[in-house]
Chains A and B, each alone.
Chain A
Amino acid sequence: MKARALVIPGLALVAATMAAAPAHAEKLIVSVSNHRVTVTPNYSGEELVLFGSVEKDATTPPNRTYDLVVTIAGPRADMVTRRKERKFGIWINTDSRQFLQVPSYLAIFSNRPIDAIASPEVQRRQQLGMNNVVLTQRVGTDYADVVPNDPFRSAFVRLRSQHGLYRESSSAVTFLTPTLFRNGIPLPAEVPIGTYNVDIKLFADGQLVTRTETAFEIVKVGFEQFVATSSRQNGFAYGLATVMMALMTGWMASIVFRKD
């Protein structure tokens, strides 16, 4: 396996910020329809909307057409991808790869195919599209991302996509006017809770013009969340409560169904 870019995510961020540094005439103004999404027990997915407009000033070249790439990254977590192989006639997990601090939700939206927006070089530098986003793996003692067609990386992206947690769409962003845009953000039922960072990049003539960031938060409320939290934080009390519940249910049943 060939490591493509041996970069620590922090460095990548610095590099990206520097690339965006040259001040351009445009400014992006954006807002999310809801900055705090509450997930209730009967929640079955939702759609947020990102609105925004491109503000021009006197120095802006006239009649510029814009392209937009929106990257939404949910809370980061470590994940393991395992592969089954046939051993002794049965299918068992043999090989595995660890993905470090990768987004639990990742959506990449644009107004047209990313290949049409920017050159492969720019795509790679700006981490545009699923194939260019850095998904750090532990490779031996190194931390690196691998080529997009690496079996573990592609399986990882495919499985996350099946759950609606990773998605890529080249038609999700619509320009209502040449400068006003709208982007629907679908959130699946099993959405991870936490802070979601929205990174909006504006392109013109294949070059990054400007970028801006916003964020929204997903919180779970209600009884289910209370159960999940207490199981993680107070394992002992939770276990004791479950044990008591089992004893009570059994005892109640023996009273209700008493035969003698």
Chain B
Amino acid sequence: MQLFLPIADIPVNVFLILAMGAAVGFVSGMFGIGGGFLMTPLLIFVGISPAVAVASVSSHIAASSMSGAISYWRRRSIDPALAAVLLTGGSIGTAMGVWTFTWLRSLGQLDLLIALSYVILLTSVGGLMFWEGLRAMLRASRGNPVPMRRSGSHSWVHGLPLKMRFKRSKIYLSVIPVVAIGLLIGFLGAIMGIGGGFILVPLMIYLLRVPTSTVIGTSMVLTLVTMLFATMLHAVTNHLVDAVLALILMVGGVTGAQFGARAGQKIRGEHLRLLLGLLVLAVGVRFAFELGIKPAELFTVRETGGAT
């Protein structure tokens, strides 16, 4: 069934988009991530302009993190204080990200920035995750698993001033790194159309030493609010959010996520991390490849307004 997307301005097959939403939703449910880093590239490959893809995916991620956040809230595994501090950074970062997005779009370098950030971020994070997963697997096969969280070991992060007590996570921590992480995730999310869960969760675990009981729920709250904020800003400044596209993605995404979550419980943690790392790496390499080979068409035309 063909449907004309009003903002993306192209006709698409509804079932294809629905299937893409469900597939990404499955992956996101399995790994407990938003899945924006898969959704945005998929939409770009289908022919939707990167700008519209980034803006519309933010609302799709908001929907999937909303359902996630609700279930984590019921299980009381969200740290409200930690979420609030993360959000102060997140909101500023998102605003800066959307502003940068608009500025680069007017220069005609937005697509390049999106592609470059994907290459750099995904290959490095994916590579690290893959390596980490591989080492954990090797250790497990040798029969001497190393405990994930070495309690009591402090890093430089814990020497910073402005400390605050986060009761539910049972940590005593400076707000500076928390705000900084929020800022980074908000900024990247607005530019790349990702929720940033796959960066945020490791950062919170390894850098902030947030216990695993609250880390995913809290990170989902940050994703939810920054993505809602990004949707709003993209809609007001760039008019690029395609609500029809977003709705199809949301419906497919939330459905797929349920099945993914069930599948994820059957796979062992280190295998899961290895798989996710591989996936992230693959998307990054795909973008790098795209940049390096000579495009079939060197010219592009874009309307800059003034239609009379």
Instruction: Tell whether, in the assembled complex, residue B304 and residue A84 are in contact, meaning their CB atoms are under 8 Å apart.
Output: no
Bound complex: CA of A101 vs CA of B69, how far in Å?
Answer: 49
Report A-chain residues with C-beta under 8 Å of the C-beta of B112: 92-93
Does B246 lie at the interface of the complex (its beta carbon under 8 Å from any beta carbon of A)?
yes
| Residue from the list A80, A98, A249, A260 in contact with B63, Cβ < 8 A | A249
Instruction: Tell whether, in the assembled complex, residue A190 and residue B295 are in contact, meaning their CB atoms are under 8 Å apart.
Output: no
Does A122 lie at the interface of the complex (its beta carbon under 8 Å from any beta carbon of B)?
no
Does B145 lie at the interface of the complex (its beta carbon under 8 Å from any beta carbon of A)?
no
| Residue from the list B4, B244, B250, B304 in contact with A246, Cβ < 8 A | B250
Report B-chain residues with C-beta under 8 Å of the C-beta of A192: 307
Given contacts A238-B241, A243-B228, are A190 and B10 in contact (CB under 8 A)? yes
Report B-chain residues with C-beta under 8 Å of the C-beta of A236: 232, 235-236
B262 to chain A, nearest CB (A): 9
Report A-chain residues with C-beta under 8 Å of the C-beta of B233: 239
Does A58 lie at the interface of the complex (its beta carbon under 8 Å from any beta carbon of B)?
no
Bound complex: CA of A147 vs CA of B247, how far in Å?
Answer: 47
Does B142 lie at the interface of the complex (its beta carbon under 8 Å from any beta carbon of A)?
no
Instruction: Tell whether, in the assembled complex, residue B70 and residue A235 are in contact, meaning their CB atoms are under 8 Å apart.
Output: no
Bound complex: CA of A155 vs CA of B302, how far in Å?
Answer: 12
| Residue from the list B243, B301, B302, B303 in contact with A227, Cβ < 8 A | B243
Instruction: Tell whether, in the assembled complex, residue B6 and residue A224 are in contact, meaning their CB atoms are under 8 Å apart.
Output: yes
Bound complex: CA of A42 vs CA of B4, how far in Å?
Answer: 7
Given contacts A92-B109, A92-B112, are A84 and B239 in contact (CB under 8 A)? no
Report A-chain residues with C-beta under 8 Å of the C-beta of B301: 79-82, 155-156, 159-160
Given contacts A245-B247, A246-B60, A247-B63, are A82 and B108 in contact (CB under 8 A)? yes
Q: Which of A186-243 contact B (CB under 8 A)?
A: 189-190, 192, 194, 224-225, 227-228, 231-232, 235-236, 238-243
B side interface size, CB within 8 A: 65
Bound complex: CA of A241 vs CA of B243, how far in Å?
Answer: 9
Instruction: Tell whether, in the assembled complex, residue B299 and residue A89 are in contact, meaning their CB atoms are under 8 Å apart.
Output: no
Report A-chain residues with C-beta under 8 Å of the C-beta of B235: 231, 235-236, 238-239, 242
Does B254 lie at the interface of the complex (its beta carbon under 8 Å from any beta carbon of A)?
yes
Report A-chain residues with C-beta under 8 Å of the C-beta of B71: 254, 258-259
Does A1 lie at the interface of the complex (its beta carbon under 8 Å from any beta carbon of B)?
no
Instruction: Tell whether, in the assembled complex, residue B66 and residue A254 are in contact, meaning their CB atoms are under 8 Å apart.
Output: yes
Report A-chain residues with C-beta under 8 Å of the C-beta of B236: 235-236, 239
Give the residue among B232, B241, B301 with the most A Cβ atoms within 10 A: B301
Does B2 lie at the interface of the complex (its beta carbon under 8 Å from any beta carbon of A)?
yes
Report A-chain residues with C-beta under 8 Å of the C-beta of B306: 76-78, 100-101
Instruction: Tell whether, in the assembled complex, residue A79 and residue B303 are in contact, meaning their CB atoms are under 8 Å apart.
Output: yes
A181 to chain B, nearest CB (A): 30
Task: State the majority secondary structure of interface residues on B.
Answer: helix
Instruction: Tell whether, in the assembled complex, residue A251 and residue B11 are in contact, meaning their CB atoms are under 8 Å apart.
Output: no
Instruction: Tell whether, in the assembled complex, residue B303 and residue A91 are in contact, meaning their CB atoms are under 8 Å apart.
Output: no
Does A52 lie at the interface of the complex (its beta carbon under 8 Å from any beta carbon of B)?
no
A61 to chain B, nearest CB (A): 41
| Residue from the list B227, B254, B300 in contact with A253, Cβ < 8 A | B254
B297 (CB) vs chain A CBs: closest residue: A159
A43 (CB) vs chain B CBs: closest residue: B4
Give the residue among B7, B63, B303, B304 with the most A Cβ atoms within 10 A: B63
B17 to chain A, nearest CB (A): 15
Q: Which of B219-276 contact A (CB under 8 A)?
A: 227-228, 231-237, 239, 241, 243-244, 246-247, 250-251, 254-255, 257-258
B25 (CB) vs chain A CBs: closest residue: A253
Instruction: Tell whether, in the assembled complex, residue B304 and residue A98 are in contact, meaning their CB atoms are under 8 Å apart.
Output: yes
Does B308 lie at the interface of the complex (its beta carbon under 8 Å from any beta carbon of A)?
yes
Residues of A in contact with B (beta carbons under 8 Å apart): 41-44, 75-86, 89-93, 96, 98, 100-101, 104, 152, 155-156, 158-160, 189-190, 192, 194, 224-225, 227-228, 231-232, 235-236, 238-243, 245-247, 249-254, 257-260
**New contact pairs (14) apart from A90-B292, A194-B307, A249-B63, CB-CB < 8 Å:** A42-B4, A43-B4, A76-B307, A159-B299, A159-B300, A159-B301, A192-B307, A235-B237, A236-B235, A242-B59, A250-B250, A254-B66, A254-B71, A259-B71
Lowest 10 A-B CB distances belong to which pairs?
A250-B66, A239-B235, A253-B254, A155-B299, A77-B307, A228-B6, A246-B62, A78-B306, A227-B6, A254-B70
Q: Can you show 19 pairs from A to B with CB atoms below 8 A apart?
A: A78-B306, A79-B302, A79-B303, A80-B108, A91-B292, A104-B307, A155-B298, A227-B243, A228-B7, A238-B235, A238-B241, A239-B231, A242-B246, A243-B231, A245-B246, A249-B251, A250-B65, A250-B68, A250-B69
